[in-house]
A and B are shown apart, each in its own frame.
Chain A
Amino acid sequence: MIAVALPRRALPLAGHRQTALAHARTRLMICLLLFVAIAGILGLRLVDLAVLHERDRDARDAFAPPSPPRGDILDRNGIELARTFDAVAVAVAPRKLVGDPHALAQSLAAILTDRTPGQIYFELTHPGAFRYVARRVLPAQAKRINDLGEPAITLEREPERLYPNSNLAAHVVGYTDIDGHGKYGMEGALDTQLTALATRGKPVFLAIDSRVQQALENELGAAMTKFSALGAAGIVMDVHTGEVVALASLPEFNPNIAGQADDNARFNRATLGVYELGSTFKTLTIAMSLNDGFIKSMDQKYDATAPIHIGRFTIHDDRGHELRKWATVPEIFIHSSNIGTAHMAAELGATRQRAYLDALGFLSPVSGELMERGHTLYPASNNWGEIATMTVGFGHGIAVTPLHLATAYAAVVNGGIWHPATMLKVESGQQVPGKRVFSEKTSDTMRALLRMVVTSGTGRKANAAGYRVGGKTGTAEKQQGGRYEKHVNVSTFAAAFPMNAPRYVVIALLDAPHGTKETSGFSTAGMVSAPIVEKVVTRIGPMLGVAPDLVHDVDVSGMLGLVAKAPDKE
C-alpha cells in the first residue's frame, strides 16, 4: 500500500492578507525613516563641514606664510640684522643602526668635512637612543647623507639663526645658543618677545642705523690698528630721543660663530666696561655750576695758580698746561685745568654734585635694554667728602661706561633734558621719557664752550668742516692692578654736532693707545680720539641728513675773548 501525503496547503484565512500588508508597510516605513535619518545626518555633517569648519579655517588661514620660529631683528631702516631659516641637522638612532659603523663613519666624514671619522664613530656607537652627528649642515650635504640610505640616520629640520652682516653691530644684536635661546645683546634682552607666538611674527626694529654703525666701526678699527690700542668703543646717539644709532666695541666677534670668539671680543666696552673718563667730566661740572648759579658769568675767575694740597693728595694740572693764574671759565675749560675745575666742584659741594650725577644716571647701571650693563664705581656716600668732590669734578675717582657719558652729554647739549638710552627705534611722534636736569640757558652756554674747544682748543682735530662739531677731550691714566699707570691712557673724545642745534652725540674711546710719529708720540685724546670723531662725522653727517654749512657757525668769539692764550695742542 502506498501512502501518499499531500503537502499541507495554508489556507487563506480571512484578515491574514491585510495583516501581511500592514507588516510590509511598517517595514517600508522603517526603511524610509532610516534613509531620511541617514540623509539628515549627512546633511548635518555637510553643514558642519561647510559652515562651521570653514570659518575656523579662515580664521587660522592655514596657507598664510608661517611666522618664523624666532622674530627677525631689523635696523631702523629695515635692513636685516638677524633672521631665522630652516636648516638641517643630522641625527642618528645608534640602536637602529643597520650598516657597519666604521664604514658609515668614513663615508659621513667624507661629506661633513669639519668632523673627523673618530668623532662620528663615537656618536654612531653611543649607547643613547638619539644623538646628533652634525647640526646646521648645508642642503647639498644633507642630500648626499640622505643618499647613503642608512635608515638609522635621520635628517631633522631645525631653525638656524643667520646674521647676514656678520660682525656689524655684533655687541648690540648679540647671538643665540645652538637651541635658539637668546644669550647676548638684544637677542638675549628680547628673547621672550622674539619667541612668543603672538609677537614673533612682527620684526623688531632697533635704533641702530647700519650705515652709521659701519662708519663708526670702520673708523674706530682703523684708529685702533694705527695706535695699537687694546680696544675701542664708540657711540652715536640721538640727543632728543636717547636712541643709540650706533654702538661699537672693538675687538668684535662674528655672531654666526659666536662660540669661537674669545671673552675679550665678547666684552662690550661701550655698555659693560667702566672707565674713568677724565676731563670729559669737566663739561658736566661746569654745567652744574652754571645751572646752580655758582658761575654767574663767563669772566668769573677761579684760582688755578698752584696745585691743591688736600690730605695726602695733590691736584695739579698736566705738565705744560699749567695756567699759574686766576683763570676765567673758558680758560679753565679750553686748557682743561684740573685745579680750576676742582675749585669749581668744591664750591658746588658734594650733595649737589651727587644729586646731579644721580639725575644724569651715573649712580645706577646704564640705561638701555641690553643685559650687558655696567655698574659704575663711585665713592661711597659717607666717603664723598671734599677730596672726592674735587676729583670727581674732573673725572677721577668715578668710573662709568661710555654709554653713561653719551646720555649725559646729550642732556647737556639738547636743552637740558636727560633721556634714558634706548636700543629700540622710536617712531616719530612717539613720546620718550625724559627729565629736565639743566636749564636751556645752561645748555646754550655749554654748546658755545664745547664748540670753542674744537675750534681753538684741544679738540681741533675733530673739527669736521661744515658740521660744527663741539666736544671735550678726556685723557685718563688707566688703572691697572689698583694703581695708575703713568703712560697707559684711556683717551676719550665726547662730541656733539651740529652745535647750533645739536642732533647727535658721538663718543670715541681708545683703550691704551700708543702714540705714533704722526702724533709726536702723544696718545692723548686730542691726538688719537678726536680725529676719529672728525672722520665719523664727515661720513655720517650726510647720511643722517645733517647739512654741512661753511658759513653759519656758533659764535664763540665772546668766549674766546676771555681766553688769554689758546693752547697749541693737548
Chain B
Amino acid sequence: MKTSLKSATLIAAAMASAMGCYAISLRASAERARIDAGRVRIARDAADIRLLQAELRTRARLPELQRWNEQVLALAPPRAEQLLHNPRLLAGYAPPAPTPVRAPVELAAVVRDAPAPVEPIRRVAFAAPRVGNDLSADAAVIGTIATNGAGTFQKIALR
C-alpha cells in the first residue's frame, strides 16, 4: 500500500513537471513564431521602403525639378549680397522698433545742442550692409533703423 502511494505520487509529480515543461515550450515557440513574423514584416517593409524611396527619387529627380523651375518656379541662385555672414546683419532686416512718443520734444533739444552727430551715423548706415562684419557699423544700422523708422529700413532691405 505504502509503495503504491509512493509511486502514484512520483507519477503525478512527473506528469505535472512534464505538463509544465510542455506549457513553457509551447509559450516559447509561440513567442518565437511571433518574432519570426515580425522579422518577416520588417524585411517586407524594408523592401517596400526601398521601392518607395526609389519612386520618390524618380518623381523628384533633379532634371525634372530643373524643368519645373524653368517653366513654373523661376528660382534663381542667391546673389552674394543676399547671403548674410552674421546674425547681426540678419537683425538689420528686423521691423523697426516703435518710435518713442516723446521723441519730438527730445529731438528739438538734441538738434540745438549737437546737430552734427546725426549725419555721420546716417552715412555709415547706408554703407553698412555691404561692409558685412564690421561690428560698429552693424550696431549703427540697428540704431538708425530704430530712430529713422520705416523709410530707412525699406532702403536697406531693397538694396
Contacts and interface: CB of A to CB of B under 8 A. Distances in A.
Interface residues of B, number: 28
Given A539-B77, A548-B83, A550-B80, A85 B62 contact: no
A551 B78 CA distance: 17
A211 interface: yes
Nearest to B51: A85
Contacts of A465: 79-80
Contacts of B79: 465-466, 538
Contacts, number: 75
A425 B61 CA distance: 21
Interface in B12-65: 36, 39-40, 42-43, 46-47, 50-51, 53-54, 57-58, 61-63, 65
Query: Quick one: which of B46, B62, B79, B80 has the most chain A CB within 10 A?
Result: B62
Interface string A541-552: 110000111110
Contacts of B62: 165, 168, 210-211, 213-214
A167 interface: yes
B66 interface: yes
Contacts of B63: 165-168, 214, 217
A200 interface: no
B90 interface: no
Contacts of A80: 53-54, 57
Given A63-B42, A165-B62, A218-B66, A551 B131 contact: yes
B61 A65 contact: no
A467 interface: yes
A168 B131 contact: no
A2 interface: no
Contacts of B58: 162, 164-165
Nearest to A63: B39
A344 B42 CA distance: 68
A165 B61 contact: yes
A66 interface: yes
Contacts of A538: 77, 79
Interface string A465-499: 11100000000000000000000000000000000
B43 A162 contact: no
Query: Interface of chain A, helix or strand or loop or mixed?
Result: loop
A79 B61 CA distance: 10
A81 B123 CA distance: 53
Interface in A201-216: 210-211, 213-214
A551 B130 contact: yes
B43 A65 contact: yes
Q: Is the interface of B mostly helix, strand, loop or mixed?
A: helix
A11 interface: no
B143 interface: no
Given A83-B50, A214-B63, A65 B80 contact: no
B51 A542 contact: no
A49 B121 CA distance: 87
A64 interface: yes
Interface in B75-119: 77-81, 83, 85
A165 B130 CA distance: 40
B65 to A, nearest CB: 8
Nearest to A467: B80
B43 A63 contact: yes
Contacts of A79: 57
Given A65-B46, A164-B57, A548 B77 contact: no
A550 B81 CA distance: 8
A540 to B, nearest CB: 9
Interface centre among A65, A218, A549 (most CB of B within 10 A): A65
Contacts of A162: 54, 58
Contacts of A547: 83, 85
B39 A64 contact: yes
Nearest to B133: A551
B130 A542 contact: no
27 contacts: A63-B36, A63-B42, A64-B43, A65-B43, A79-B57, A80-B53, A80-B57, A162-B58, A164-B54, A164-B57, A164-B58, A165-B58, A166-B63, A168-B62, A168-B63, A210-B62, A214-B62, A214-B66, A217-B63, A465-B79, A466-B80, A466-B81, A467-B80, A539-B77, A542-B78, A542-B83, A549-B85
Given A217-B63, A465-B79, 4 more contacts: A63-B43, A465-B80, A539-B77, A542-B78
Interface of B: 36, 39-40, 42-43, 46-47, 50-51, 53-54, 57-58, 61-63, 65-66, 77-81, 83, 85, 130-132
Interface of A: 63-66, 79-80, 83, 85, 162, 164-168, 210-211, 213-214, 217-218, 465-467, 538-539, 541-542, 547-551
Name the 4 nearest CB pairs between A and B, nearest first.
A466-B80, A63-B39, A548-B80, A164-B57
